[in-house]
């Protein structure tokens, strides 16, 4: 690191690198010439990149708009890639070596959707009350 490199520049470079890595993984997920198990592993690694970025954002004092935008884009891509894998309806045998099922892929997709909602949607008062009521029962 040079003396003129600011923390902001370092953060931007880190995010650019993560974005490039995610692009490579996404391309591997979509490469139909590869066995489904290899593509699922690439997708799970893509999901891990998203999770690592979330952890970076949690540790930051205040994530920038660029950080949030990249995270939103990567999560959206990971969700779309996972949906594509499920649309292919992999056979149980093709996922056996991974000790994974299509239900496991669907569960990971649901986790990604929940993460997206937590990070990138506004929670209005009515929805907040419904969630609290569901979580704690009765009137809140």
* Number of alpha carbons in the 13 Å side-chain half-sphere of residue 44: 13
Between 36-59 and 65-87, two packed helices, what is the crossing angle to 10 degrees?
A: 160
**Three-state SS for 101?**
coil
Q: How many domains does the chain have?
A: 1
Predicted local distance difference test score (pLDDT) of residue 40: 94
Mean pLDDT by 10 residues, the chain (140 residues): 60 74 80 87 92 86 82 92 91 91 95 92 79 75
Q: Is residue 97 part of a domain?
A: yes
**Residue 81 belongs to domain spanning:** 7-136
Q: Is residue 2 part of a domain?
A: no
Predicted local distance difference test score (pLDDT) of residue 7: 55
**Assessment of whether the complete model's pTM goes beyond 0.85:** no
Predicted local distance difference test score (pLDDT) of residue 1: 46
Task: Report in angstroms the alpha-carbon separations of 5 from 1, 13, 53, 65.
Answer: 6, 11, 21, 20
Predicted local distance difference test score (pLDDT) of residue 95: 92
> Can you read off the two tokens belonging to residue 116?
């997206």
């Amino acid at each position: 690191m040079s003396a003129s490199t600011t923390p902001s520049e370092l953060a931007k470079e880190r995010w650019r690198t993560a974005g490039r890595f995610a692009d490579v993984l996404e391309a591997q997920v979509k490469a139909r010439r590869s066995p489904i198990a290899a593509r699922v592993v690439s997708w799970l690694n893509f999901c891990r990149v998203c999770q690592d970025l979330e952890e970076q954002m949690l540790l930051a004092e205040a994530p920038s708009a660029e950080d949030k935008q990249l995270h939103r884009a990567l999560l959206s891509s990971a969700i779309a890639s996972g949906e594509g894998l499920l649309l292919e309806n992999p056979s149980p045998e093709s996922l056996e070596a991974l000790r994974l099922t299509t239900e496991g892929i669907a569960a990971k997709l649901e986790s990604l959707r929940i993460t997206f909602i937590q990070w990138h949607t506004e929670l209005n008062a009515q929805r907040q009350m419904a969630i609290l009521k569901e979580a704690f029962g009765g009137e809140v």
